[in-house]
A and B are shown apart, each in its own frame.
Chain A
């Protein structure tokens, strides 16, 4: 005989109620691999979240903010939230968005977007799911589903909206494999909304789940931090502190990084911090990465120096960092 507790446990772990029901990654803003703030458009701070803008003027700063311990304004004891703060900032369009891999995500279904938000002064925010069929070939045009504006105040409030996401029957995918469901929080979209100006907007605990979850107090459905990090690293991960045992030339050394956590596709690579090659009784400053071959599971770099390596010696790469990026 199964107890009610057992039945409930089964329900929680085998149905859409379990942790992966939330399609938003890093909705709790726990992961900030790129840094804890950004002043430019694009990806730059909270993992998976992108700042999009058109014709920007003035300045803004997106940053990680920490909740007071024990606060009860936002449920689930989240540690962080994200803030976008303007400094005489204006733009034709400005939003904070997350691209969810696969335009099939929740297509033809009801979905509930839930989040907590506030602002330094009363203003509106405009949630908008966008079904984007990708690029390459002749893909169908993106389909917007406009939500109702939410009225932000200076206090944290829960907002929950149900969207009927259109079917994607008869649509055509692009050939580049980058189709997606983007969830955008429009601050301004053409004639809709107002410039950020000198305001700040705070956003926390974002979830997008299947069905009508408006009756739930908190449909966020947390995952373990290791799972959340692994999900983020499908799109961005940093490589550092490699041991480069083996061959070397005098001005470059080849290093290979293998990941047990495959990325979405072949990543771009950027040398974020050059570091030093330490070994053979010396330390030589890295100047660049000149060549890279990278796939979803492995990457090979040549770390270049101006001179000073000893051929066939082994080196450890210290205090350096390469970013691999495979975002949508």
Chain B
């Protein structure tokens, strides 16, 4: 018997790990992976229900962003130094304008991960800091 972990997706398919391989399986009994999952269900296992992904992080105001950074030991000067280190002059100027002149900041803006990486932060760490800053 195969080792299976399975969960419904938003589209009514099944996201499954079958013997270590990840598959998205249609809910169609003509499909051999669906048949394997059905045999697994017949042994008393259950396909986990669909769980919607967490809501995207809301934008931060300039004040929230700077306070959030400071709360994690990152100063405005640290960010400006990271921007100054961008080698391409045009990209550097775009980043400087975004940093200095934006009134709100979107989490999924590419510069957030780029500058975050320059400051030694992973995307997961940035998410945690972002969530904390939303409460400030």
Contacts and interface: CB of A to CB of B under 8 A. Distances in A.
Contacts of B35: 135-136, 176, 178
A291 B24 contact: yes
Contact of B30 (A265, A284, A290, A293): A265
A327 B11 CA distance: 22
A40 B19 contact: yes
A293 B10 CA distance: 10
A176 B13 contact: no
Contact of B13 (A265, A293, A327): A293
B-side interface size class: 20 to 34
Nearest to B114: A308
The A interface is mostly helix, strand or loop, or mixed, namely: loop
Contact of B31 (A251, A265, A271): A265
A-side interface size class: 20 to 34
Interface of A: 40, 42, 135-136, 175-178, 250-251, 264-271, 282, 284, 289-294, 306-309, 325-328
Interface in B1-24: 9-11, 13, 15, 19, 21-24
B28 interface: yes
A266 B22 CA distance: 17
Contact of A291 (B10, B107, B113): B10
A151 B95 CA distance: 73
Contacts of A271: 22
A270 B113 contact: no
Top 4 A-B residue pairs of the complex, sorted by shortest distance between their CB atoms:
A266-B26, A307-B108, A265-B30, A292-B24
A284 B110 CA distance: 9
Nearest to B106: A250
A307 B112 contact: yes
Contacts of B110: 282, 284, 307-308
